[in-house]
Structure 1
Amino acid sequence: MSTPTIDKPGTTGTGTALIDIQNLSVAFGTGAKAVTAVHDVTLAVEPGEIYALVGESGCGKSTLAYSLLDIVPPPGEIVGGDITFQGTSTTSLTKQQMNKLRGAEMTMVFQGAMNAFNPVLTIGKQVQHILQAHPEVYKDPKEGRAYFNHLLELVQLSPDRIWRAYESQLSGGMKQRVAIAVALLLKPSLVVLDEPTTALDVLNQRLVIDILKDLHQTLGVTIIFVTHDLAVVAELATRVAVMYAGRLVETGTVQEIFTAKRRHPYVEALINAIPSVLNSGLKVKPIGGSVPNLAALPPGCKFAPRCRLAEDICREVEPPLIDVNNHRVACHVVNRDVTEVSPISEASETTADATSLRKSAAPDHEPNEKEATL
């Protein structure tokens, strides 16, 4: 099977897709009680990208990420669409074939991965178990240990210390970095990171972001980055897909998303809600309303009940994802006339550009007493 060529709006168009998702839907339960967590999602990720999946808790981004590795927890299951990885449809693979693909070619660092280690085994012993389970990657286990040592050095940890350590002897930031090294051990083409900086303090967040940049540049691995933090996205990602109520509402490059004159009101609200300790000129506006109940979604645009720009059509007809100035937006108001000046963007007062957001992602210096208190 040949690898699909990317020709969709919103992709970079520089090559062929490493992973291609077409009309994917994931539901929990069956029949009338089924809840759709991911609805008709189509996107493609190219080799070497850092692709961010963004949205509030419950938007479906983690479920979408789990679907890529076929690890959606029961009773969840893929109920529609297809996922193609390196030219092969993963939805048609047997469990044994998928197990072989998972780990060796694609892997995941889960949210809370710092607590994923076996507390009664050393890190080294756990790595040995991984190597024994995948003899196709390293014919000589010594080669595997040497590569793991190399990865530990890349994540700025001492190989000898980590190999002998138990998880209780490591800090949260250290365990997160070890988890990243373990995920890269079998030299996968794709690594999915689910909220890898959420539980870390600001200095460890900064360190992990810098390490991920270095790993991406050194190893060339493709990264899918699941997060609710747009400031981190501006710092790390190359392209972005924003989800709401299981749907894609906007996709594009980081530059397009953060500097577009016209964008989805939800994306605008996410950006305006980013706090910045170091940039007091950025006004913070919390998003009004609450995340919708997936079991009782409103008709039309799912963001309409929280949207200050909503019109009658928004409450009646769900908008399609349409190409708008090189990125894609699902919004009737934005799509109606892309040539007029946007009523959504309040750039002079409320919207930070990508540079400002990078500054707010994490300070590049030790916080002073006032900043630390804030």
Structure 2
Amino acid sequence: MSLAPHDKTMVVITSGTIARALFAVVALLAAYLLWDVILLVLAAIVFASAIEPMTKALVAHRIHRTIAVLFIYMMIVLVLGAVLFFFLPPLIDDISQLTQVFPKLATDPGFLGPFFEKFPHLLETFKQGFSVGEVLPGGADLAAGLGTSVVNTASLLFRGLIGFVLMVVLSFYLSVQEDGIENFLRLVSPGKHESYLVDLWQRSRKKIGLWMQGQLLLGLLIGVFVYLGLSVFGIKYALLLGILAAIFEIIPVFGPIMAAVPGVAVGFTYSLTTGLFILAFYIIIQQFENHLIYPLVVRKIIGIPPLLVILALVVGAEIAGFLGIILAVPLATILVELMSDFEKHKKSLVHPA
């Protein structure tokens, strides 16, 4: 009885396979080494995309594209300058006063007296105030490091400034050119995927622009409402708390809750009644936002799931810090479009037309 020979599988590694593998390794290494540059390029693309609707509106009125982009940049600088000029001094004053609230509670706890009687160590902590080392783990070491490493700190700030200038210059260059972003994508894309990547970006850009406009409008509305409401209640730090409310609006679901915590805490430093009124005020604002403002301004025109936004913000902050937070939602939007196309492709293979 003879045994049948086993089938043998031959693996052939061609020079093309080796070349592609080496190219992938080199590409990953280059991405790692040039990570900061890649982030700046992505930030420039997002910023150029954000002002593209305004640029097209001005060009439609027969204004030259370069002049239109320059006008938009000048308006942004003027608005930021005006905001800093009018709001920065009272904002700094609010922050300075707010840092003194808790130590003052030790000498005049008011209705919180019974609470402090049960927890005397908290009262002693408030009397002594807070230090960086007590509030943040390793804060004292950080403060000492900053004090002894002035050169390193200045170098870090200088690099950040240079990066910001390069991002602005690149975004200006992309904005001035007609279809500048699309041309840039064609330049860096593989030939066979060029058309698809440009189409993917054009679809994603519309959603990114709508999301940015919606979030700016939502943050502005909530910030103004909180500022006006707290001003009516006579809260000293209404401007600071309104700005915090506007900033936290970038975080779906949990943002309004996080913004309410300091406002309610400050309200309770006035009196129990004031604290409860402030708590009720924030609840009303949140309900007003959830059932009226958010559905009209954001959800219906964008369609990005809130959970995806939260995950994107967490991952972006972990990977690239503040710049990662800025790029998180735009990149998540592109990912959603990419997955949608992949799903459509799978269905077309299973159920061909």
TM over 0.5: no
Q: Which has the higher helix share?
A: 2
Greater RCO (Cα-Cα under 8 Å, separation 6 or more) = 1
Larger CA Rg, structure 1 vs 2? 2
Please indicate the TM-score interval, normalised by the length of the shorter structure: under 0.3
Q: Which has the higher strand share?
A: 1
